[in-house]
């Protein structure tokens, strides 16, 4: 440990320039690079030019939407139609172009939203240049820059430590080593690590793509997807369809060439009409569009989604672990009481060289000590900031809120140990006014005092009111001893009041209504955490557990984690273990937090949610960042996820019903050596009116159904029987029409088109449930549009549809109604099996 920073020469005591780092510019320390030196390095390209990627590039978005296997299939079919004609049979190609354009536009809009939000939440490190502290963009750091560090800061580039004031770096995300590393001048720091205690500075030795974290990013780009059942399920379905499509298409080609041997152009058109509907071309598009629109909607609420499927992930969460400070409470707090628990004997007892100042009362001595301790803290946390606000910072800042003068020339800091979440206290070794030397510690009472100490009774009483309590004590034991708290004499209790978030109670009630279990995991005293949780109405808050009593055995830990709602005195490593224990029981866990002590748990959770005001390290590992620090945004994220999952499941059923009936029709045509029932133009109008347009509206509609696992199983259980029924009904009507007039292929095709439309619109009516006004209007509009196609002369001519007589059309209608009734029965049976 090194002595804490003292004010620079020529700078008024206790005052810092705007934006200055706690270390500032100290005597004998380098003034950093000059503007000319920075310009030289920029000219040489020695800049940290690695872009922060919050989204895919525009080129990647275009390629992902254009260069797909199904677009390739459709593109080849479209090119063939352009050769054999007529143009109306190539409408499916124009639909694909329009769909792809919509997908690109929506994803580019989402990218714009993500990138603008990422700039808001981007870390802005402080560097020392031209003799002053400056805050710059990450990409503006150059080689040999002096970068300043404080608690919660992420190490942006690799470097060598030049200054250290109790600087502790957590490298667990890089090395897996859980214990923080105490750094001294000359030690190396790696980008991707973060500060958990103290302050310091380092000289950048590797920037840009040379830095360690940038090399890792090259191997695994930041735009990687969290586990997504939706995407993986759709990919599995598409792979299966691809393998099914190839042999079916080959058989259909051979069959149609054999049947229409004298008119090869007609054979090619009908072959293409059979292949194109097999391709669920809009399914991937609508999935991407649904995610993109979700990002845009959440962006309007200042919610940065750093990985798109995190929206889906949070919707699947059944357990959310909350850090109390900064999540349920606001970041700031206030000193509401200072309770002296020592006696006046404490200020003058013992040898003169080991006693505090004996002038005035003990409370005055405590206030002076608190002010000096606050001034020695290079990067005060919210608790210490509250002390500064109340009593000053001991460097001539004048009276605090309680009127105590913090400055006292008789006190001098010899050594300082900053606060650490692991040890739960901070301390200073002071040379006192009468020449005595002692260590003063400020921290968790139940950590600094032995169990059963009388002062802990008062601490528990205050904690039960939801107040945060710190103990100030004095000991002759040096700070660098193995146990500085040994022989500690408690002198005072600093009572702090935390500010509850106004929206916290409503958000907790929302999670409870959605059967998502909330657990509070905090480093504060268990009694205090339980009181805050109880005030917010969290079930089980009356039985908080002190994490120091948690079992080490994994199974026992998992049992406790599942059965407990509130945990106190949790170390960062224990937060991580609790998340892992819940996951071991099949839970899907989200973790929210804002402090550096939450980083490990956020990294291991299925979904990490960070507050925008949180540390750089916290925001770097989270998938979702609430830039406006509003806990109330989380229900919106859950709602967006449920909308995406539920609606994509709906439209996936529509697309796959089409694929199944297309494959079945192709097989029946091959077996019976019949002409394929449709031309490409018929497939286009059927797909557009029963799937394409309705699916677009259904994919973007509100949906509050709880997300469930088993996406592929549920979709196929409904799509396969639906497709089989639709295909069978269509081919039956087509075969009966052909038996009546085998030479009038246009009439036969028209009957088959009518039958398939009626069955497909029935499928749409089932998928669109539960009904509301706009869904009924949607179904009615699609039916009306098809009626116009059949009855308006120029439309019926364009699509080559003509119903001859009344017998065959009415037979087709009867078959369609029968198929619809069978659909209803099968749908109910399958739905019951899925729900069971």
Write down the pLDDT at residue 127.
Answer: 92
Over 237-263, what HEC string results?
HHHHHHHHHHHHHHHHHHHHHHHCCCC
Question: Is the pLDDT at 24 greater than 70, yes or no?
Answer: no
Could you tell me the pLDDT band of residue 223, with boundaries at 50, 70 and 90? very low
Q: How far apart are CA 163 and CA 638, in angstroms?
A: 45
What is the spatial distance between Cα 293 and Cα 744, in angstroms, rounded to a whole number? 48
CA atoms of 514 and 637, how far apart (whole Å): 13
* pLDDT at residue 173, rounded to an integer: 65
Based on the residue annotation, tell me whether 323 is a catalytic residue of this protein: yes
What is the C-alpha to C-alpha distance for residues 473 and 493, in angstroms, rounded to an integer? 9
Over 70: is that where the pLDDT of 56 sits? no
* pLDDT band, residue 531 (cuts 50/70/90): confident
Residue spans of alpha helices (H) in 477-571: 504-513, 526-535, 554-563
What confidence score (pLDDT) does residue 18 get? 38
**Model pLDDT for residues 78-105, shown as the tens digit of each residue:** 888 888 877 777 777 777 787 788 778 8
Helix (H/G/I), strand (E/B), else coil: 537? coil
Q: Residue 788: pLDDT above 60?
A: yes
- Answer whether residue 28 shows pLDDT above 50: no
Per-residue pLDDT band for 54 (boundaries 50, 70, 90) equals low
Q: Are 274 and 252 in contact (CB under 8 A)?
A: yes
Q: Note the pLDDT tens digit of each residue in 576-601.
A: 899 999 999 989 899 988 777 788 88
Least confident of 137-141, 253-257, 261-265: 261-265
Banded model confidence at residue 162, pLDDT cuts 50, 70, 90: very high
**Residue appearing with tokens 């907790």:** 508
Residue 342 confidence (pLDDT): 65
Backbone angles phi, psi at 428, to 5 degrees: -135, 145
**3-class DSSP assignment, residue 473:** strand
Q: What is the pLDDT of residue 191?
A: 82
Look at the pTM and tell me if it is higher than 0.75: no
Q: CB count, 10 Å around CB of 360?
A: 11
Average pLDDT over every residue of 512-538: 87
What percent of the chain stands above pLDDT 70?
86
pLDDT of residue 395: 56
Exactly one of 89, 153, 165, 323 is catalytic; name it: 323
The separation between the first and the last C-alpha atoms of the chain, rounded to the nearest angstrom, is 62
* The pLDDT of residue 394: 60
Contact 378, 4 (CB under 8 A): yes
| pLDDT band (50, 70, 90) for residue 253 | confident
Give how far Cα 286 sits from Cα of 231, 371, 378, 696, Å: 12, 60, 51, 7
Q: How many CB atoms lie within 10 A of CB 138?
A: 18
Instruction: Give the rounded percent of residues in the chain with a pLDDT score beyond 90.
Output: 17
Residues 617 and 811: their CA atoms lie apart, in Å, by 69
Coil, strand, or helix at residue 325?
Answer: strand
Look at 448 and 68; give whichever has higher pLDDT. 448
Query: How many helices (H) and strands (E) are present in the chain, helices listed first?
Result: 28, 21
Mean pLDDT of the 442-466 span? 86
> What does the pLDDT read at residue 260?
63
Distance CA 800, CA 679 (A): 9
pLDDT band at residue 396, thresholds of 50, 70 and 90?
Answer: very low
In whole angstroms, how far apart are CA 227 and each of 53, 341, 387, 604?
19, 53, 44, 13
pLDDT at site 177 = 62
pLDDT at 211 over 80: no
**Cα–Cα distance, 736 to 739 (Å, whole number):** 5
- What per-residue confidence (pLDDT) applies to 366? 87
The arithmetic mean of pLDDT across residues 465-491, rounded, is: 86
What pLDDT was estimated at residue 21? 43
Q: Is residue 561 pLDDT above 90, yes or no?
A: yes
Q: What is the mean pLDDT of residues 315-324?
A: 86
Q: So what's the pLDDT on residue 2?
A: 40
Q: What share of the chain is helix, strand, coil (3-state, %, to 5)?
A: 50, 15, 30
């Amino acid at each position: 440990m090194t002595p804490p920073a003292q004010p620079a020469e020529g700078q008024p005591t206790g005052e810092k320039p705007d934006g200055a780092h706690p270390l500032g510019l100290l005597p004998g320390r380098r003034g950093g690079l000059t503007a000319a030196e920075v310009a030289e390095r920029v000219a040489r390209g020695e800049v940290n030019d690695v872009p922060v990627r919050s989204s895919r590039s525009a080129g990647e978005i275009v390629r992902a939407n254009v260069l797909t296997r199904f677009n390739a299939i459709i593109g080849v079919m479209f090119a063939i139609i352009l050769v054999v004609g007529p143009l109306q049979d190539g409408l499916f190609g124009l639909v694909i172009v329009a769909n792809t354009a919509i997908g690109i536009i929506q994803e580019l809009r989402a990218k714009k939203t993500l990138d603008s939000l990422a700039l808001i939440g981007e870390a802005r490190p402080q560097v020392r240049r031209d003799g002053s502290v400056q805050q710059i963009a990450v990409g503006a750091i150059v080689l040999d820059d002096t970068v300043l560090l404080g608690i919660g800061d992420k190490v942006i580039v690799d470097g060598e430590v030049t200054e250290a004031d109790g600087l502790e770096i957590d490298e667990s995300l890089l090395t897996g080593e859980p214990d923080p590393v105490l750094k001294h001048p000359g030690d190396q720091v790696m980008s991707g690590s973060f500060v958990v205690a103290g302050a310091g500075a380092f000289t950048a030795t590797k920037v840009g793509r040379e830095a360690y974290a940038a090399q890792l990013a090259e191997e695994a780009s930041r735009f990687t997807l969290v586990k997504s059942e939706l995407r993986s399920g759709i990919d599995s379905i598409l792979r299966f369809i691809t393998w099914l499509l190839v042999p079916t298409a080959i058989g259909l080609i051979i069959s149609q060439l054999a049947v229409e041997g004298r008119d090869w152009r007609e054979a090619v058109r009908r072959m293409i009409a059979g292949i194109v509907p097999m391709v669920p071309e809009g399914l991937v598009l609508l999935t991407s569009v649904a995610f993109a629109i979700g990002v845009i909607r959440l962006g309007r609420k200042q919610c940065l989604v750093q990985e798109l499927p995190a929206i889906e992930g949070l919707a699947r969460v059944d357990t959310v672990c909350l850090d109390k400070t900064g999540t349920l409470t606001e970041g700031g707090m206030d000193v509401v009481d200072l309770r002296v628990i020592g006696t006046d004997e404490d200020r003058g007892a013992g040898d003169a060289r080991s006693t505090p100042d004996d002038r005035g009362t003990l409370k005055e001595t405590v206030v002076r000590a608190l002010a000096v301790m606050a001034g020695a803290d290079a990067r005060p946390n919210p608790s210490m900031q509250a002390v500064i606000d109340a009593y000053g910072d001991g460097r001539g800042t004048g009276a605090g809120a309680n009127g105590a003068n913090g400055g006292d020339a008789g006190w001098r800091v010899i050594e300082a140990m900053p606060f650490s979440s692991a040890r739960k206290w901070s301390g200073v070794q002071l040379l006192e006014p009468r020449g005595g030397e002692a260590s003063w510690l400020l921290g968790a009472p139940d950590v600094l005092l032995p169990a059963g100490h009388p002062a802990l009774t008062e601490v528990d009483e205050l904690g039960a009111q939801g107040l945060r309590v710190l103990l100030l004590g004095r000991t002759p034991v040096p700070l660098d001893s193995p146990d500085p708290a040994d022989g500690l004499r408690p002198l005072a209790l600093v009572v702090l009041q935390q500010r509850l978030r106004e929206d916290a109670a409503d958000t907790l009630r929302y999670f409870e209504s959605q059967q998502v279990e909330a657990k509070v995991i905090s480093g504060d005293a268990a009694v205090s955490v339980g009181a805050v949780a109880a005030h917010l109405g969290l079930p089980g808050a009356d039985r908080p557990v002190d994490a120091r009593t948690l079992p080490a055995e994994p199974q026992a830990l998992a049992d406790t984690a599942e059965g407990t709602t509130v945990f106190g005195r949790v170390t960062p490593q224990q937060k991580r273990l609790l998340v892992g224990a819940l996951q071991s029981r099949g839970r899907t866990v989200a973790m929210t937090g804002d402090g550096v002590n939450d980083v490990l748990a956020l990294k291991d959770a299925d979904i990490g949610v960070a507050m925008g005001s949180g540390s750089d390290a916290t925001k770097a590992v989270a998938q979702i960042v609430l830039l406006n620090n509003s806990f109330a945004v989380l229900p919106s994220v859950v709602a967006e996820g449920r909308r995406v999952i539920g609606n994509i499941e709906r439209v996936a059923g529509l697309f796959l019903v089409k694929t199944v009936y297309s494959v079945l029709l192709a097989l029946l045509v091959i077996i019976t050596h019949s002409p394929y029932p449709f031309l490409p133009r018929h497939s286009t109008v059927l797909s557009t009116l029963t799937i394409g347009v309705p699916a677009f509206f259904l994919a973007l509609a509100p949906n509050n159904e709880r997300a469930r696992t088993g996406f592929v199983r549920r979709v196929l259980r409904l799509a396969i029987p639906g497709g089989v029924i639709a295909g069978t009904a269509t081919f039956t009507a087509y075969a009966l029409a052909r038996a009546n007039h085998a030479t009038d292929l246009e009439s036969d095709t028209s009957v088959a088109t009518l039958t398939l439309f009626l069955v497909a619109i029935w499928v749409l009516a089932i998928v669109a449930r539960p009904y509301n006004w706009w869904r009924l209007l949607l179904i009615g509009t699609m039916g009306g549009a098809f009626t116009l196609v059949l009855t308006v002369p120029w439309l019926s001519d364009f699509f080559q549809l003509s119903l001859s007589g009344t017998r065959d059309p009415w037979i087709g209608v009867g078959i369609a109604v029968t198929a619809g009734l069978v659909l209803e029965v099968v749908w109910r049976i399958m739905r019951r099996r899925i729900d069971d």
